[in-house]
Structure 1
Amino acid sequence: MGIGDKLKGVVDKGKDAVSKNADKIEDAVDKAGGFVDKKTKGKYSDKIQKGKEAAKKVIPPQA
């Protein structure tokens, strides 16, 4: 088993973990965005919203 095979196994495990916990990850993204928005007093709300949407697009749907 070469390093490429080992890395593929790690990546596959990561993808599986993300897909099983997609709802928790989305909640965390929302919480983090809300926290940052509060700390910046709404100054970057539009950019934060776009960032949250972009982050959620890369989260695969739950299996």
Structure 2
Amino acid sequence: MGLDDIVNKGKELFEQNKEKVNDALNSERAEDISDKVLDGVSGFAKNVLPDSADAKIDEVRDNIDKNIGNE
């Protein structure tokens, strides 16, 4: 099985389970997990990058958070 076969099988499985995937991404559990991950990543980025990037990091974090979970 080649890489193209694996990608096509993944697409097929996603299409067959699209509603379940969307429900999972919009769940309370996804919200909790995504908040923890996003807080960790944004905190790391703020420690590594200059303070002048903090506002942009927060903006990116918030935009991602709007699309995952139920809040």
TM-score in same-fold range (> 0.5): yes
Give the unaligned 5+ runs of structure 1: none
Give the unaligned 5+ runs of structure 2: 1-8
Tell me which stretches of 4 or more aligned residues in structure 1 moved more than 6 Å: none
Percent identity of the aligned residues?
Answer: 20
TM-score, scaled to structure 2: 0.63
For this pair of structures, how many residues does the alignment match?
Answer: 59
Q: Which has the larger radius of gyration?
A: 2
Deviation at 1:5, TM superposition (A): 6.6
Q: Cα RMSD over matched residues? A: 2.5
Match of 1:22? 31
TM-score, scaled to structure 1: 0.69
Identify, as 1 or 2, the structure richer in helix.
Answer: 2
Closer/same/farther in 2, CA of residues 8 and 43 from structure 1, 3 Å limit: farther
Q: In structure 2, what is the Cα distance between the partners aligned to 1:22 and 1:37? A: 22
